[in-house]
Amino acid sequence: MLEVQLNELPRKISPFDAVEQCYQEQLRFVCARLKEDVSVLIRCEKQVIPYLQSILKRRLATDGKSITIIDGRENSESAGAASTGTRLSRMVSQLRDLVNNTEINKVFFLPYLDIITSTMPGGLTMEAREIMTTIHENPSLSLVTFEDPDFTLPELIAQAFPARCEMLGIARNRISSLITEVEARKFAIGSINLMGIFKYVSGLNPVRFREIMGIFSRKADHDPSIRDMHSNYMRELRDYTACGGGSLSDVELDRDIAGYNKVKKQIRENVLNLLQSTAAMIDENEIRKIESIIPRGLIFHGPPGTGKTLFAKGIAEALNAAIYIVSGPELKSKWVGEGEANIRRLFARARATAPSVIVFDELDSIARARTGSASDGASEAAHSMVNQLLTEMDGFRKEQMVLIIGTTNFVDSLDPAFLRPGRFEYQIEIPYPEWDDRKAILALYNNKFETGLDDPQVDRLAGWSGRQTDLGTPYTGDHLSALIKDFKRYLINHKKDRADEETLQTWLKGLVEEAKLSDEEETVVATHEAGHALMFYLYKRQQEITRITIESGGTDSLGFVESISRRPYFYTESRLRSEIGISLGGYTAEKIFFGEVSTGASADLRRATSIATDMASVYGMAGVPREFTFHDGRPDPYYLPQLSPHINKIIGDVFQTVTSYIDTNRDKVAQLVAELRLKRTLTREEIDKFFAAVAPEE
């Protein structure tokens, strides 16, 4: 249990005691193997090595084993005749001189073998080659060496050590043996739930943990009457444990990320709520059950600029986790082995500073689907990096909170091995923002940059930004941020403290040159938009309209009916027919009032035809119970002659309904045209007021 009484905790713990208590099982394993003259490789941090050497030396001495430490120091117990040259060269000489020692029950400790033999671009150093040769030529040697996560041994040398164990981090069931009663009193009174502390120290080695606890031992005991005392202590503890190349995020999921409620709900329900619930638990079995169902790898995918990395930062902040954001180019190397080493070091740092979040920005740059062969060194290096990344992801202890997040614009290009359960098993799409999202994002930046837009103006800008950018893509969060910044600069340059209607309109017009229409042209545009607007009433969707305008407002359109675009989960036949009807509204109004149509209806007709074609060929909504699609999702040209009558009937039926409705309400259309020409733009309130007075006839 993680809930313990303070008086049951140890009174005093030395660094040696901490190491022995933390790694009891591992130390027994090492001693058992060395008694059998089996060489052992211990993976641990450098700070722990002196304590491990002393503990092992003491334990092995009781079994008649003598220890020689080969560390290259002058005047050391193993220096012998080797007293000149660099420390590395002395280590090589010491090992070479001592291997011929025939003394039985002799164990050699090599604490820095990993540093000497650490692979560099181009291969092993001369010292590394000589040591490797010496070790392999003397297989009867009983050796102990230590491998720091930052300096992995080359596999050719690691092969000389049949027994291997890992002494990294702190196991949850050992935490109560590593904290004293005096230290625990800084965080609780009477009893303490050690899970709150463990989640911030699980990646530390016991020596480092004892150093940090020593700092707290000199602080005042916990006093419930002092506000924020406990939270300040916990924040300080997190600051001590988060250093190591990462940083603590200051991006709050709700405060700093606007809109995207569906995405936030997915994040909370599948990650945050589960992880945060374990903080109050005291039963390890219950904690393990929760940990077993939490996805340790997430993929955020979607178009560029939609905030994928921002969501990752929000998750890190919610977990108070250290965050590491890396991109493919930062990790890559043309040398085989160097990229893998970079990944190993990254994961080692993340484990040491747990809880932590590793964000692989543009994951597809290093994790593309692997082909059958590697044709060059760069490809071979890339394949090796993918394998190393998979290995690291599979090597987590569940109780050590390290969350991996990959962001990508091209999720389909990822290696399938990443997408299986246990790795990046949960995918969340971050799409282009819809109307509600754009409104929330604009409101956030409006407050941040103090541009003074009121709610109706924010609504209007949300609708205006529903169109495509100059690059032909929808507006993203980045575009909306840039838009508000541009408006703020405009206000400053025109010496305006806050936005007003005239300023907003002038600024929007300046983004794209406003078209200069004649009276006749303006009447056609107003009639076209009035026809569209009337269709929302025909299909009982008038609540979706937010604005009608005959000004471009900085777009490539001469006018438009702005509406809230809420994407349904599926479309019924009647809903699709209403989409066609709304598209045909402008075309039909022009035809009824002027006896001819303009080229301004081309995009509307294209959309209506596309919808009708899908209804006939894909959705079976034309009375033909079959699907005519080709491999690319569009109708096979072979079937077009059969489809054309069905497509024409759908459009014809809708067109007849639209024509009858507009013809019946000609006077309402005319009044709306006059109102539009007078005011140029009608807001939602003005539209409701207008139609309340002149409701269209059914």
Pick from 223-227, 531-535, 622-626: least confident: 622-626
**Tokens, residue 493:** 């340059």
Q: Average the pLDDT over 77-91 and give the result.
A: 61
Alpha-carbon gap, residue 527 to 475, rounded angstroms: 28
Q: Average the pLDDT over 86-110 and give the result.
A: 76
- For residue 297, give the 3-state DSSP assignment: strand
Greater confidence (19 vs 502) lies with: 19
378, 334 contact by CB (below 8 A): yes
524, 587 contact by CB (below 8 A): no
Per-residue confidence band for 400, with pLDDT thresholds at 50, 70 and 90 = confident
Give CA angle at 244 (161, 354), nearest 5°. 80
Burial of 64 per CB tally in 10 Å (0-12, 13-18, 19+): exposed
Per-residue confidence band for 239, with pLDDT thresholds at 50, 70 and 90 = confident
Q: Average the pLDDT over 677-698 and give the result.
A: 78
Alpha-carbon gap, residue 258 to 477, rounded angstroms: 9
Per-residue pLDDT at 209 = 94
Indicate whether 430 pLDDT > 70: yes
**Tokens, residue 68:** 């020689």
Pick from 123-132, 190-199, 364-373, 629-638: least confident: 629-638
Domain made up of 435-511: CATH architecture: Orthogonal Bundle (1.10)
Per-residue pLDDT at 554 = 44
Local structure of residue 283 (DSSP, 8 states): -
Q: Average the pLDDT over 516-545 and give the result.
A: 87
β-pair partners for 563: 545
Indicate whether 380 pLDDT > 70: no
> According to the CATH classification, is domain 248-428 in 3.30.1700.10?
no
Q: Average the pLDDT over 103-118 and give the result.
A: 81
Q: Is 122 left (phi over 0), alpha (psi -120 to 50) or beta?
A: left
Give the best-scoring range by mean pLDDT among 209-218, 328-337, 463-472.
209-218
Alpha-carbon gap, residue 390 to 404, rounded angstroms: 11
**Tokens, residue 521:** 């042209």
452, 497 contact by CB (below 8 A): yes
Local structure of residue 272 (DSSP, 8 states): I
Contacts of residue 54, Cβ cutoff 8 Å, sequence gap at least 6? 16
CATH class, domain 519-693, is mainly alpha
β-pair partners for 110: 145
Alpha-carbon gap, residue 682 to 660, rounded angstroms: 25
547, 461 contact by CB (below 8 A): no
- CA 136 to chain centroid, in Å, comes to 45
Alpha-carbon gap, residue 39 to 109, rounded angstroms: 10
Residue that the structure tokens 């596309």 belong to: 610
Backbone φ and ψ of 299, nearest 5°: -125, 125
Indicate whether 302 pLDDT > 50: yes
**Tokens, residue 226:** 């002092």
Local structure of residue 184 (DSSP, 8 states): H
Pick from 576-590, 632-646, 683-697: least confident: 632-646
Per-residue pLDDT at 12 = 93
Per-residue pLDDT at 131 = 77
Give the best-scoring range by mean pLDDT among 118-132, 238-252, 509-523.
238-252
* Residue closest to 560 by CA, chosen among 539, 586, 587, 599: 586
What's the pLDDT tens digit per position in 627-686?
Answer: 665 555 555 655 667 778 888 999 999 999 999 999 999 998 999 999 888 888 888 788
Helix (H) / strand (E) element for 608: namely: helix 602-617
Report the DSSP pairing between strands 163-167 and 40-44.
Answer: parallel
Indicate whether 374 pLDDT > 60: no
What's the pLDDT tens digit per position in 610-639?
Answer: 899 888 887 888 776 666 655 555 556 556
Report the DSSP pairing between strands 681-683 and 545-549.
Answer: antiparallel
- For residue 106, give the 3-state DSSP assignment: strand
Local structure of residue 554 (DSSP, 8 states): T
Alpha-carbon gap, residue 429 to 406, rounded angstroms: 12
Per-residue pLDDT at 445 = 93
* Residue closest to 187 by CA, chosen among 223, 147, 135, 137: 223
b or e along 509-527 (b: 16 or more beta carbons within 10 Å of the residue's beta carbon)? eebeeeeebeeeebbbbbb
Local structure of residue 514 (DSSP, 8 states): P
Contacts of residue 562, Cβ cutoff 8 Å, sequence gap at least 6? 460, 463, 464, 466, 545, 546, 547, 548, 549
3-state SS of 232-267 is: HHHHHHHHHHHCCCCEECCCCCCCCCCCCHHHHHHH
Alpha-carbon gap, residue 431 to 464, rounded angstroms: 18
Please determine whether the domains at 39-161 and 248-428 fall in the same fold group of CATH: yes
b or e along 233-256 (b: 16 or more beta carbons within 10 Å of the residue's beta carbon)? bbeebbebbbeeebebbebebeee
* Residue closest to 324 by CA, chosen among 311, 313, 340: 313
Other CB atoms within 10 Å distance of the CB of residue 292: 8
What's the pLDDT tens digit per position in 70-80?
Answer: 887 765 554 44
Q: Average the pLDDT over 484-498 and give the result.
A: 89
Domains of the chain by residue range: 3-11+172-242, 39-161, 248-428, 435-511, 519-693
Alpha-carbon gap, residue 307 to 295, rounded angstroms: 21
What's the pLDDT tens digit per position in 45-70?
Answer: 999 999 999 999 999 988 888 888 88
Per-residue pLDDT at 80 = 47
What's the pLDDT tens digit per position in 247-273?
Answer: 788 899 989 999 999 999 999 998 888
Q: What does pLDDT average to over the chain?
A: 83
| Residue 555: C-alpha distances to residues 463, 476, 514, 636 (Å) | 12, 16, 8, 36
Indicate whether 81 pLDDT > 80: no
Per-residue confidence band for 383, with pLDDT thresholds at 50, 70 and 90 = low
Per-residue confidence band for 139, with pLDDT thresholds at 50, 70 and 90 = confident
Give CA angle at 567 (565, 570), nearest 5°. 145
Q: Average the pLDDT over 324-345 and give the result.
A: 71
Q: Which amino acid is at 431?
A: P
Indicate whether 393 pLDDT > 80: no
β-pair partners for 67: 107
CATH class, domain 39-161, is alpha beta
- % of the chain with per-residue pLDDT over 70: 85
Alpha-carbon gap, residue 697 to 653, rounded angstroms: 20
Greater confidence (594 vs 417) lies with: 594
Q: Is 511 left (phi over 0), alpha (psi -120 to 50) or beta?
A: alpha
pTM for the full predicted model: 0.72
321, 251 contact by CB (below 8 A): no
**Tokens, residue 210:** 């004892």
Per-residue pLDDT at 232 = 92
